Structure 1
Amino acid sequence: MKRLRWCLLTTLAMLAALITVLPAGAQARDDAPILDPIPDDPAPSGLGLVLKEVAQLPKSEPSAPPTDPRLARWNRINHVGELPDHSGRLYVPDLNGNLYFLDKKTGKSHVYLDVKGAFPDFYSAAGLGQGFGFVAFHPDFKKNGKFYTAHVESGNALTTKTPDLTPQPKTGYHGVIDEWTADDPKAQTFHGTHRELLRIGFAGRVHNLQQIDFNPNAKPGDADYGKLYMSVGDGGNGNVGDNGGDPQNLGVPQGKILRIDPAGNNSANGKYGIPADNPFAGQSGKVGEIYAYGMRDPHRFSWDTGGTHRMFLAHIGEHEIESIHEVKSGDNIGWSEREGAYTFRKDDRCHLYPLPADDAKYNYDYPVAAYDHDPPADWNCSSDTGHAISGGYVYRGAALPALRGKYLFTDIVDGRLMYTEESEMKRDPAGKHRAQIYSLAAYDTKGNPVTMKQLAGDDRVDLRYGSDAKGEPYLLAKANGKIWKVVGTKSYAGCRPNDVRESRVMSADNWAPVTPSKWRFPGKEVVLAEAGSERPGPRRPFEYAVLKSGPVLGSSKIDAEVRLDTPVDIINRDVIIVFGYQDDTHFYYAHLSTDNSIYPHNGIFVVNGADRLRIDQQWNANRSHGAPPTITDADWHRVRVTHCAGTGEIAVYVDGSTRPAMTALDKTFTSGRVGFGSFDNIGRLRDLTVHANPAR
């Protein structure tokens, strides 16, 4: 059954590839669905974050028993930041209603403001973003005591209160922005006044108000200083029904980023100002508060505090695409006509389509980075695939040099940690070029590899980034209400075994081949001259030779040059690097191949008394592909395999890259010997050097 599934998935991947490479203008360009919009997966970075748990916020409950099990979390904390008053106090909003202050040194928290208690119609019982969504402190909070909250109301509010901007038909929820003024900004609990600034009506229970914030780069006297930005979702179903098309409608606020002046009064309700430099200010029939538009669920935005101070938005997609956009005044992200750089069709809930030939005339703002969902082959197109992006920010802090210039972000659901290089995040009007996305590992403070699912204690992590005033990153999870600070970085498989050094071992008496007659040892090379044949027992490499000189090795770093002598027109050609070798049915190997489209190729495997098992973290079973092919020609290639026996980390590097081609985490074997071989191809090895620690 497994082989049948791989065959099916491979066929789907090949069809997707054929569709996406059709020439411009071909009839199928507008008619054929794209089965795999973004074939490239996030690549391993070889870098990990060291995480220290600093707090667990109190358990909380929604405003009423939820019907959606995804709302049944320890709590619903969704951000951590630092007050702009040099007090060192962190703040944490909980969607279920409380605003907490958190002591950075002790990790102790207390309620600063009960937002839920301040509003009788407060609602957080349905919808993943409903409740007390966000808080933003005015840059002059130390002097004026002002801060702003976004929350959701329902119930009596729907009949007793009126939205300020055009509501959606069949409004069921109000998103509300309030301004609070503390009598004493230094106080540890709030006492003061508040006033409502803005109320927006939404039809659905999802994609309501998301983030609100101030531009940290703006200084007193700048046009942007003190202007409040708000990301406003499409209310759910912004592509169909009564509110279909709202994100493209400049006459309504849904599906937009808004920008207002809380200190002004020229808005329709007189409670705030509409900045004159907003792109649509003063234009008839258009909402002057709009800064950018065309959005489904604009989850998180941030400004780079270095570089050219660009604004970035993490946008949660519908079908397939989780995207990052650079946002400028007047930009149109494209929803619901586009999802990422693909055509969204309202008559097809299962696929995206290529862009039309005349797409340039629309001037959509396509992603500077993106990844897709890769749903399983049996996905029914209506269920949640378990992916959603949560944007972080470009790291410009001082404590973690390895992260500088990287835009850090997460997948909310599965807890993956990722980044892109800010320098590679460039706008492309055609939507073809995007920055490479890299995956990050995670470690506890003892250096043990961990995952965010493990740290959160749940397969659904509900993970988000925050930061302090110095730009140092924090992570927080709703699953268990915990907050971790990133206290360091660590190289993946970064052990440095140096006690034993093996080199100049090319002579035949140093090697033990499976079939000696198939091997040649001319002096500076080890040559597999004849292809091997399948042998009885578990499925494993057919022919290899093990280096028998020296001690049995523990952690090891293997450096060598390899060459494939099988003709390049044979796509499934391969060589292998053996390590952790115990005997003929117990060892690891790294498979280096021209092909990455089927399970046995181009990956890291373990043979443990049974058929070889793939253990690398790059295999995408839903799309039947692994890491990009490692060897595609007849040239020599430099290969490094690092195996850290203590942690189980394995990394494979090719041609001097600082980032691994493949990684794995497995503790089956903590010692063994190294070797070289293939399944049924021929090749050779030279310049072998092994640094290792003796087996214990």
Structure 2
Amino acid sequence: MPLATSPLPRLGLAFGLAMSLAAIDARPASAIEPQADDSLPELYTEVAFPNLKFDRPVVLAYPDDENNLLFVVEQHNAQIYSFPNDLQTDDKQLFLDLPQAISKDNEEGLLGLAFHPKYAENGQFYVYYSATNPRRSVVSRFNVSKDDPRKADPNSEQVIWVSADQPYGNHNGGCIEFGPDGYLYISLGDGGAADDPLSTGQNPTDWFGSLLRIDVDNPEGGKAYGIPADNPAKRDPKFAHWAPEVYAIGIRNIWKFTFDRETGDLWAGDVGQNKWEEVIKVENAGNYGWNVYEGFHPFKIRGNRVERSSPILPPIVEYPHPDVPAAQRRGRDDTGKSITGGYVYRGSRIPELQGVYVYGDFETFRIWGVTVDEQDEVVATGELIDVDSPRQAKINIAAFGEDRDGELYILGFDGRIHHLVPRR
């Protein structure tokens, strides 16, 4: 999670820093310095399910079936619980106790859960966890019990994908989601520590610092998955040196990405290093700047250069850390330290929030919203809650989630599931 701060050979890097600067500097100032907008609703949070409590909840997900259940992942207990989507429920049942041992550093554990799009037919779901001895990330498939929709079959595990060995316990990414194309997307951070010590951010030949995309329904080449035909390495010779699984690069540590259920757009929160947190919209073969940029700002280490095949794309918005000098923040006080990516709201409970991408910060408890036009230029952006209000709970925001109806939830390290409600 975004609480802190084996590669293949690196190939040619040709685009220079000057080209990257030109691309970023061309971004309109309104996107570089977003301001509060009164078109966004004023909200606060309240506990949504008062009779439920969890330990380090990091995922809320639901399958596309008729049981109307929600599922929560407990990070270090390595357990998944189910409960009815009823605000007054106290019916919390253990769905899966992960049978494998896991690493439990602050950003490790059971980190991801995704239900197969045809779960109602095949009962398949996928998890992402931090394995140990050696430290590495694993995506596995399990099946629900044939006799009970509230129980998984712990003996059904099939390992689908395993990362290279990871020398550090942070920057594990850990988010998995099925896209509207039916493929499984996997976020994997830059390998850990600080300053991208493995030089993975601009290296598309390895998996680190990337968003991956695989086809779990059509395995090939002796692996448990196939490669979609329009992944960069398959679709264009200029990306032939990219690892086949890599979908996008230049990522430091995406802690949560989601798809807009209406447009299919892929939104993500990419955790910064010392100064800037950012929201990005990810596209096929996109390059989001790390380790040459942190947000909109140059990040200079070890003569780093931009990957030659994919010029840098700027973020949608950023926000500063508290210790960024005031002159660089240009008057902005909406600071944070660790972004938690959210969702584009498509529910009905808060009509004024419709179409707004909602995201937050783990360390400073803030929640923002942003909307963009068809060219991804910012239309409105600002804080949605008043963290200084005595009625507003201080929530370490570990994750956002949504239910089948598109209603939005917030998982806090207070163990509660919260939701947003209008200020009255």
**TM tier relative to shorter chain:** 0.7 to 0.9
Shift in CA distance, 475/229, structure 1 to aligned 2, threshold 3 Å:
same
Q: In the alignment, is residue 278 of structure 1 matched against residue 222 of structure 2?
A: no
Aligned-residue offset at 1:484: 1.8
Alignment of 1:58-457 (within 5 A): 75-96=55-76, 97-105=78-86, 106-115=89-98, 118-119=99-100, 121-124=101-104, 126=105, 128-155=106-133, 158=134, 173-184=135-146, 186-191=148-153, 193-200=156-163, 201-215=165-179, 218=180, 224-225=181-182, 227-237=183-193, 239-241=195-197, 243=198, 245-267=199-221, 269-281=222-234, 284-306=240-262, 308-346=263-301, 363-375=311-323, 387-423=337-373, 426-427=375-376, 434=378, 436-441=380-385, 450-453=391-394, 456=395
Shift in CA distance, 148/140, structure 1 to aligned 2, threshold 3 Å:
same
Alignment of 1:423-502 (within 5 A): 423=373, 426-427=375-376, 434=378, 436-441=380-385, 450-453=391-394, 456=395, 461-478=396-413, 480-486=414-420, 488-490=421-423
The answer (yes or no) to whether the contact 1:368–1:435 under 8 Å persists in 2 is: no
Aligned-residue offset at 1:388: 1.1
Equivalent position of 1:47 in the other structure: 42
Amino acid at match of 1:53: A
Instruction: Report the Cα distance in structure 1 between the residues aligned to 2:406 and 2:265, rounded to whole angstroms.
Output: 16
The answer (yes or no) to whether the contact 1:408–1:418 under 8 Å persists in 2 is: yes
Shift in CA distance, 150/55, structure 1 to aligned 2, threshold 3 Å:
farther
Shift in CA distance, 48/185, structure 1 to aligned 2, threshold 3 Å:
farther
Amino acid at match of 1:99: I
Number of equivalenced pairs: 378
Instruction: Report the Cα distance in structure 2 between the residues aligned to 1:436 and 1:410, rounded to whole angstroms.
Output: 16
Aligned-residue offset at 1:50: 5.2
Identity in percent: 25
Shift in CA distance, 377/301, structure 1 to aligned 2, threshold 3 Å:
closer
Instruction: Report the Cα distance in structure 2 between the residues aligned to 1:109 and 1:485, rounded to whole angstroms.
Output: 18
CA RMSD across the alignment: 3.1
Aligned-residue offset at 1:77: 0.5
Aligned-residue offset at 1:57: 5.1
The one-character-per-residue Cα deviations of 1:259-304 (angstroms, maximum 9, x if unpaired) are 001122225x521111111111386542101111111011111111
Instruction: Report the Cα distance in structure 1 between the residues aligned to 2:347 and 2:310, rounded to whole angstroms.
Output: 38
Shift in CA distance, 359/255, structure 1 to aligned 2, threshold 3 Å:
closer
TM-score (norm 1): 0.50
SS at match of 2:251: coil
Equivalent position of 1:637 in the other structure: none
The answer (yes or no) to whether the contact 2:400–2:409 under 8 Å persists in 1 is: yes
SS at match of 1:280: helix
The one-character-per-residue Cα deviations of 1:469-495 (angstroms, maximum 9, x if unpaired) are 1110111111x2011233x423xxx5x
Equivalent position of 1:687 in the other structure: none
Amino acid at match of 2:290: W
Instruction: Report the Cα distance in structure 2 between the residues aligned to 1:83 and 1:240, rounded to whole angstroms.
Output: 36
SS at match of 1:177: strand
The answer (yes or no) to whether the contact 2:114–2:127 under 8 Å persists in 1 is: yes
Shift in CA distance, 402/441, structure 1 to aligned 2, threshold 3 Å:
same
SS at match of 2:352: helix
Instruction: Report the Cα distance in structure 1 between the residues aligned to 2:90 and 2:422, rounded to whole angstroms.
Output: 22
Aligned-residue offset at 1:99: 0.6
Aligned-residue offset at 1:123: 1.4
Instruction: Report the Cα distance in structure 1 between the residues aligned to 2:410 and 2:41, rounded to whole angstroms.
Output: 20
Larger RCO, structure (CA 8 Å, separation 6 or more): 2
The answer (yes or no) to whether the contact 2:32–2:317 under 8 Å persists in 1 is: no
SS at match of 2:121: helix
Instruction: Report the Cα distance in structure 2 between the residues aligned to 1:422 and 1:305, rounded to whole angstroms.
Output: 16
Amino acid at match of 2:73: P
The answer (yes or no) to whether the contact 1:122–1:152 under 8 Å persists in 2 is: yes
Q: Name stretches of at least 5 consecutive residues in structure 1 with no aligned partner.
A: 1-23, 26-36, 60-74, 159-172, 219-223, 349-355, 379-384, 428-432, 495-696
Instruction: Report the Cα distance in structure 2 between the residues aligned to 1:108 and 1:335, rounded to whole angstroms.
Output: 44
Amino acid at match of 2:143: T
TM-score (norm 2): 0.80
Shift in CA distance, 442/376, structure 1 to aligned 2, threshold 3 Å:
closer
The answer (yes or no) to whether the contact 1:390–1:412 under 8 Å persists in 2 is: yes
Shift in CA distance, 338/185, structure 1 to aligned 2, threshold 3 Å:
farther
Instruction: Report the Cα distance in structure 2 between the residues aligned to 1:406 and 1:182, rounded to whole angstroms.
Output: 34
Aligned-residue offset at 1:394: 0.9
Instruction: Report the Cα distance in structure 1 between the residues aligned to 2:307 and 2:172, rounded to whole angstroms.
Output: 29
Shift in CA distance, 279/152, structure 1 to aligned 2, threshold 3 Å:
same
Amino acid at match of 2:399: R
Aligned-residue offset at 1:452: 3.0
The one-character-per-residue Cα deviations of 1:54-78 (angstroms, maximum 9, x if unpaired) are 046556xxxxxxxxxxxxxxx2111
Amino acid at match of 1:178: S
Aligned-residue offset at 1:174: 0.6
Amino acid at match of 2:152: F
Q: Does 313-322 or 280-289 show the bigger shift?
A: 280-289
